[in-house]
């Protein structure tokens, strides 16, 4: 296509202080600079041919500019003047910087690697209502007794009736887990209606508090078309719940912003199911880093962010970058609690804490409910693993010295290697 106008190029400097700056990985069979111009034009004020109605004034105010081209690295940077964006609207922002350009014939592949916002764009977004500190406070965890939060997912993923679902939650909490969530596809099916499940699980949360004195969190999965989501969130509130879980990619950014703006005083736990359809292909799509930044602006309190050591893909540099963006203290918005989940078990606790510290929610589904002695033992093993890390002790040494049978069985079951002293 014949996009024209080198005026989209600003390679000799451009004031980006009031621009959203996007970094793209762009591969093309066309002239590299020309393709970069076409991406900038199509994602701001241009189209495939020059139109008479595009005045100089509009161009000066609103045209995106290519501020960096590195054809040998397949990297381009584009600055988008803030005037292009509606205040506090992620759907509009995504339609601009992550819209048509992915499908243009002039690029063979395009991946939005990173995004940086000027104050004028980011500050109208609410960010998390609770954040990391608020999430931990809900569980009675403060600076004086700081530690990672332990969570589980009720398993099997689908199928349990409400009373059995609640029983699994109770056993996990009783064994020492702080946080229990529904699985991502578990919403309001005939085998387990949402309201019935909610009431029964919250009764167990109250029972655990009576029996152990510990406050716990139940992330009820309210995922649904928006009116039902709103109704379910209100039910969580009415029933004394403290957290709603939303599958934020499948429900969409508009729904999430709406639910956050209700300001119900409930933790928002964000599951990212379907993200890998967008984030995984290395040359095309949008990175989880960019999704995480958008979700922090939107105001999730916790977000699945990868584990490096679990069953889902994601190498350390990329996953650490996501954790850093969620927990970056320089933002006006509160910090988001990253969630490590997927294929984890008690033996995963030391490497997760080594990589990411204590400001993390470590979720284990199969790693708890797959314990040979059942869910309570699995939860106790997870809790003991955290205790070993807090005491800076080797997990095997701790299990053996403390004669922690549940942890020993878990380490054997999940094949956790013993690290000999000289290692
Ligand atoms: C984990 C999980 C989570 C994934 C999500 C599952 O269960 O409940 O949804 O971890 O992946 O359904 O697989 P297990 P991510 O603990 O039994 O693996 O956190 O990467 O979004
Ligand atoms: Mg799941």
Task: Tell me the average pLDDT across 228-243.
Answer: 98
- Across 48-161, the runs of DSSP E, i.e. the strands, are 65-70, 75-81, 109-116, 149-153
Q: Are residues 60 and 181 in the same domain?
A: no
Q: Are residues 113 and 149 in the same domain?
A: no
DSSP state of 192: B
How many CA within 13 A on the CB side of residue 56? 0
**Helix-then-strand count for the chain, H and E:** 18, 13
Q: How many structural domains comprise the chain? A: 2
For residue range 182-203, what is the model confidence (pLDDT) as tens digits? 999 999 999 999 999 999 999 9
Chain-wide mean pLDDT for the chain?
97
Query: Which CATH number is 107's domain given?
Result: 3.30.70.150
pLDDT at 421: 62
Q: Give, using CA atoms, the residue closest to atom 2 of ligand 1.
A: 342
pLDDT band at 222 (very low <50, low <70, confident <90, very high): very high
305 lines ligand 1 (CB under 6 A): no
Q: Is residue 421 in some structural domain?
A: no
**Domain span holding position 154:** 131-414
Sign of CA dihedral 350, 356, 362, 367: negative
Report the alpha-carbon distance of residue 268 to residue 248 in Å, rounded.
10
pLDDT at 4: 60
Ligand nearest to the CA of 186: 2
365 lines ligand 1 (CB under 6 A): yes
Q: Are residues 363 and 267 in the same domain?
A: yes
Q: Is residue 146 in some structural domain?
A: yes
pLDDT at 91 over 50: yes
176 lines ligand 1 (CB under 6 A): no
Contact of 366 with 378, CB cutoff 8 Å: no
346 lines ligand 1 (CB under 6 A): no
H-state helical runs in 76-225: 90-97, 119-122, 131-138, 162-175, 194-212
Q: Give, using CA atoms, the residue closest to atom 3 of ligand 1.
A: 342
Of 341, 347, 379, 382, best ligand 1 pocket probe by most atoms within 8 Å of the beta carbon? 341
pLDDT band at 50 (very low <50, low <70, confident <90, very high): confident
Q: Is residue 419 in some structural domain?
A: no
pLDDT at 356 over 70: yes
pLDDT at 341 over 80: yes
Q: Are residues 152 and 93 in the same domain?
A: no
Contact of 8 with 65, CB cutoff 8 Å: yes
Q: Which of 136, 181, 204, 271 is catalytic?
A: 271
364 lines ligand 1 (CB under 6 A): yes
Is residue 155 part of the annotated active site? The answer reads: yes
21: which strand partners? 79, 116
pLDDT band at 292 (very low <50, low <70, confident <90, very high): very high
Q: Which residues contact 174 (CB under 8 A, 6 or more apart)?
A: 208, 211, 212, 376, 379
- What proportions of the chain, in percent to the nearest 5, are helix, strand and coil? 45, 15, 40
pLDDT at 423: 58
Q: Are residues 117 and 135 in the same domain?
A: no
Hey, what's the torsion of the CAs at 373, 379, 380, 383, to 10 degrees?
150
Q: Which of 77, 155, 200, 334 is catalytic?
A: 155
Contact of 367 with 172, CB cutoff 8 Å: no
pLDDT at 274: 98
Is residue 304 part of the annotated active site? The answer reads: no
Q: Is residue 2 in some structural domain?
A: no
Q: Are residues 94 and 210 in the same domain?
A: no
322 lines ligand 1 (CB under 6 A): no
pLDDT at 420 over 90: no
Task: Tell me the average pLDDT across 362-389.
Answer: 98
Task: Tell me the average pLDDT across 351-371.
Answer: 98
pLDDT at 2: 46
pLDDT band at 115 (very low <50, low <70, confident <90, very high): very high
Task: Tell me the average pLDDT across 104-114.
Answer: 97
Taking the centre of ligand 1 as the mean of its atom positions, its distance from the CA of residue 166, in whole angstroms, is 19
């Amino acid at each position: 296509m014949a996009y024209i106008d080198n005026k989209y190029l600003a390679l000799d400097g451009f004031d980006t202080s009031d621009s959203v700056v996007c970094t793209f990985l762009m591969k093309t069979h066309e002239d590299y600079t020309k393709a970069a111009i076409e991406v900038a034009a199509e994602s701001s004020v241009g189209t495939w041919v020059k139109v008479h109605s595009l005045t100089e004034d509009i161009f000066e105010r609103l045209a995106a500019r290519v501020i960096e081209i590195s054809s040998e690295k397949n990297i381009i940077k584009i600055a988008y003047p803030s005037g292009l964006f509606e205040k506090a609207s992620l759907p509009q922002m995504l339609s601009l910087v992550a819209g048509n350009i992915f499908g243009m014939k002039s690029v063979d592949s395009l991946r939005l690697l990173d995004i940086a916002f000027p104050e004028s764009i980011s500050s109208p977004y609410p960010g998390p209502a609770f954040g990391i500190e608020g999430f931990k406070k809900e569980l009675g965890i403060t600076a004086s007794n700081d530690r990672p939060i332990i969570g589980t997912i009720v398993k099997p993923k689908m199928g349990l009736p409400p009373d059995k679902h609640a029983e699994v939650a109770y056993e996990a909490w009783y064994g020492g887990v702080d946080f229990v969530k529904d699985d991502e596809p578990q919403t309001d099916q005939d085998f387990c209606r949402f309201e019935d499940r909610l009431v029964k699980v919250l009764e167990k949360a109250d029972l655990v508090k009576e029996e152990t004195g510990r406050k716990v969190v139940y992330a009820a999965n309210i995922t649904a078309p928006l009116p039902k989501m709103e109704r379910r969130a209100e039910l969580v509130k009415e029933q004394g719940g403290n957290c709603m879980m939303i599958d934020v990619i499948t429900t969409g950014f508009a729904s999430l912003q709406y639910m956050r703006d209700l300001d119900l005083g409930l933790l928002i736990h964000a599951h990212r199911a379907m993200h890998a359809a967008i984030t995984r292909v290395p040359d095309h799509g949008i990175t989880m880093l960019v999704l995480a930044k958008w979700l922090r602006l939107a105001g999730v309190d916790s977000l699945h962010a990868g584990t490096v050591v679990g069953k889902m893909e994601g190498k350390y540099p990329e996953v650490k970058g996501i954790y850093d963006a969620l927990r970056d203290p320089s933002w006006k918005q509160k910090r988001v609690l990253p969630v490590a989940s997927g294929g984890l078990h008690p033996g995963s606790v030391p490497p997760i804490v080594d990589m990411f510290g204590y400001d993390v929610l470590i979720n284990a589904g199969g790693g708890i409910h797959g314990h040979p002695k059942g869910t309570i033992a699995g939860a106790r093993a997870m809790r003991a693993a955290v205790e070993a890390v807090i005491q800076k002790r080797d997990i095997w040494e701790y299990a053996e010295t403390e004669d922690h049978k549940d942890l020993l069985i878990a380490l054997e079951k999940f094949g956790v290697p013993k690290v000999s002293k000289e290692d």
